[in-house]
Amino acid sequence: MVPTQSVAPPALAGRPLPHVEVLCPTCGEVLRHRVLRTRSPDRETEGGRPPRAVQGVARCSRCGGVHPFRLELPRVGRVRVILSEGRSSESFQIPWDPSREVAVGSRLTLRGRPVKILRVEDEAGRSLSRGRAEHLRAVWAVPWERVRVPVSVPEGRNTRVLVWETVPGRAITIGEEISLDGETLRVVGFHGQGHKEDRTGRSLPAEEIKRVYARRGTGGTPGKNDRIYSRRASPLPGPRARALKPPGGRSA
């Protein structure tokens, strides 16, 4: 019988195998072996499918016995990752072991950029805290380098929109004062986690907020990691946005 190891380390797939950790039938333990020869892991099976295992002959580092071995290769699937940056988003298909879990809050590298997973959806579109890759429809993520948050500031019948660029994890709190575009603003509400919030003291990490509502205030010191990225003019937000009030309940 050929000794079998259930899963081969990912680094072995498609590469030469100088050594492997497999069961030695003489010693009765999983030990380091020197590989003497292998059947190429790049060789395709019938139908053009990639091989599911690597087979060969190896010598045990303890007893010196020579025996055949077989290493099962990890299954390779794909996960759809939607990277959201402000108002734009881009979809990617990345390799992923179907049996591995994907969890909200975990981080990964996407095309050389660190990203953080904010939402995991199953095949029915339901939001999960975690799930196995083979049962997921999509994963939503945001860049984990810097976060750009739109900030709406009412000016008469119009609204000026600034873009606040800050670091991931920076908590934005209703009632705090910030300095953007050379003036002091007071945060009076934000739109995040699917709803609008205007209760003083409520806060969310910057990457979970879609929009901040602010009014001119006094005082406040900008953080060293905060800066304006761009700005533009836009119509005044809808009634719900205009109804937001600063702390204390009095209009600015």
Give residue-wise pLDDT tens across range 156-191: 889 999 999 888 888 999 999 999 888 899 999 999
**How confident is the model over 80-97, as pLDDT tens digits?**
999 988 778 899 998 887
**How confident is the model over 138-148, as pLDDT tens digits?**
999 988 888 88
**Are the CB atoms for 209 and 227 separated by under 8 Å?**
no
pTM for the complete prediction? 0.41
pLDDT, averaged across the chain: 77
Q: Which residues make Cβ contacts (< 8 Å) with residue 11, sequence separation at least 6? A: none
Query: Does position 5 have pLDDT exceeding 60, yes or no?
Result: no
Nearest partner of 215 among 138, 133, 160, judged by Cα: 160
> Tokens in use for 23?
């069961």
Buried b (16+ CB within 10 A) or exposed e, 187-223: bbbbbbeeebbbebeebbebbbbebbbbbebeeeebe
Nearest partner of 35 among 54, 11, 14, judged by Cα: 54
Give the pLDDT confidence score for residue 96 in this predicted structure: 83
| Of 134 and 48, the one with more pLDDT | 134
Instruction: Name 190's bridge partners.
Output: 197, 212
Question: Which residue type is seen at 214?
Answer: A
Query: Does position 211 have pLDDT exceeding 90, yes or no?
Result: yes
| pLDDT above 90 as % of the chain | 36
Instruction: Determine whether 28 is exposed, middle or buried from the number of CB atoms within 10 Å of its CB (0-12, 13-18, 19+).
Output: exposed
> Tokens in use for 101?
């879990």
Query: Does position 129 have pLDDT exceeding 70, yes or no?
Result: yes
Fold of the CATH domain 4-72: SH3 type barrels. (2.30.30)
Give the pLDDT confidence score for residue 74 in this predicted structure: 66
- Per-residue pLDDT band at 78 (split at 50, 70, 90): confident
